[in-house]
Amino acid sequence: MEASASVAPWEEVGPEEQLFVLITGANSGIGLGTGQRLIDEFLATRSLKAHLILIPTTRSASKSLLAIKALRAHAELAARTSSALRSRAGDGYCWQDAARRIHVLSPSLDLCDLRGVYAFADRLVRGTLSNPEGLEGEYLRNVRIPRLDTVVFNAAYGGWSGCNYPKAVWAILSQGLVQAVTYPNFKNSLSTSILNEQKGYGYPEKPLLGEVFCACVFGHYVLAHQLLPLLSRRSTDPPSSRGRIVWSSSIEAVADGAASTTWLALQDQASLDELQADRVKWGSSCNRHLESGVKKTEVEGWGWEGKPETDETIAADPAQCLLHKSVGRRLGTKNVTEEMLVEFEVEGARAWREMERLRLQWADILKLGKEE
């Protein structure tokens, strides 16, 4: 029997002063860094009454405890040391009050377990969430999540066994350091891992379901569909309240990364619409002074903004220095043409139709969900 919902600490303010962000795979690396950077930017820029509710998922209760403790410690550090926050609050600033506006709720989620994905989404949409036992301080038990403002799909599994060091040295010498480490071709991959062969998941022999595909793509696709009730808004709601899905792609973990993910989560909707942000793959960048920023990323077959490009249009890019389109391009990349854009959109539509077919197929196989 479902426990009755408890009053959550963020309910002391109105919905407009609450921000709910779910991050998958957030116990380390980019996922944890995204949560930490969200805390920094939120405290520095949002209302002094606003509450941030972070929902970092991990694959076990023990990892969730570590994630909660790390994010809480970061919130306290940010509240104590943020000069921007202190100047905004004035003489009566109390860092403890600021830290108490950051709440961390970390449930477990294995994206390769499709039954678990459905159960996880059902708890968020219709039930309540609680933190695992073993924490000190604020304990969130049986609280409801009324909506999700941003969902960051960060969790992934690479399937790599190590590095081919001779090949890495050759890549650095022949391509340069930046090209070699940005677009590495010297990782040693593991043999194909099929989830059907792992007894713990209880999948049938067919159709085959790859571990990397499910962890990085398909599990997230299914989760997004099941979370739509929390991401959707009524027609009468302002456009600024729309839910967002931020799908992270592969980048190497850096201590001060996640700039683009945080920017997309916190930027107001009008600014994103003006930039046509939904047509751009946003990336994090950093210069030699360790100043991080947000940069448009070139996608093969799509370019930067889904527009044809020539050498002249690239050279005329108004962005300066590190943010210029010509900086960091992959060697040998062809300028996108109108024909390439058409092919990209056709293939993209076909890929998403296939993803939806797979979702329905696996829902039927595992007897999950109720289709309209």
pLDDT digits (tens, 9 = 90+) for 160-176: 888 999 999 999 999 99
Instruction: Quote the pLDDT of residue 202.
Output: 93
Nearest C-alpha neighbor of 167 from the set 183, 182, 184, 179: 184
User: What per-residue confidence (pLDDT) applies to 256?
Assistant: 43
Average confidence (pLDDT) over 200-205: 93
Q: How confident is the model at residue 255 (pLDDT cuts 50, 70, 90)?
A: very low
Share of the chain above pLDDT 90, in %: 61
Question: What tens digit of pLDDT does each residue of 101-159 get?
Answer: 999 999 999 999 999 999 999 999 999 999 999 988 888 999 999 999 999 999 888 88
Residue 3 reports pLDDT greater than 80: no
Asked if the model's pLDDT at residue 86 lies above 90, the reply is no
pLDDT-derived band at 84 (thresholds 50, 70, 90) equals confident
Half-sphere exposure at residue 224, Cβ-oriented, CA atoms within 13 angstroms = 19
Domain range list for the chain: 9-156+207-266, 161-201
Q: Is the pLDDT of residue 8 over 60?
A: yes
> φ, ψ for residue 322 (rounded to 5)?
-60, -30
In this model, does residue 339 exceed pLDDT 90? yes
Distance separating alpha carbons of residues 279 and 276, to the nearest angstrom:
6
User: What CA–CA distance (Å, rounded) separates 20 from 41?
Assistant: 14
Pairing of strands 187-189, 244-247: unpaired
Percent of the chain with pLDDT strictly greater than 70: 93
Smallest CA-to-CA distance from 255 within 24, 28, 76 is with: 28
Whether 132 and 1 have beta carbons less than 8 Å apart is answered as no
Task: Identify the CATH number of the domain defined by range 9-156+207-266.
Answer: 3.40.50
Residue 296 pLDDT exceeds 50 = yes
pTM: 0.87
Specify the pLDDT at position 30: 86
Output the pLDDT for position 133: 92
Q: Ranked by mean pLDDT, which of 72-81, 257-266, 320-329 comes out on top? A: 72-81
Q: What pLDDT score was predicted for residue 332?
A: 86
Sheet with strand 150-153: strands edge to edge: 102-104, 51-56, 18-23, 150-153, 244-247
Measuring CA to CA, how many Å separate 140 from each of 12, 16, 46, 227? 15, 21, 23, 21
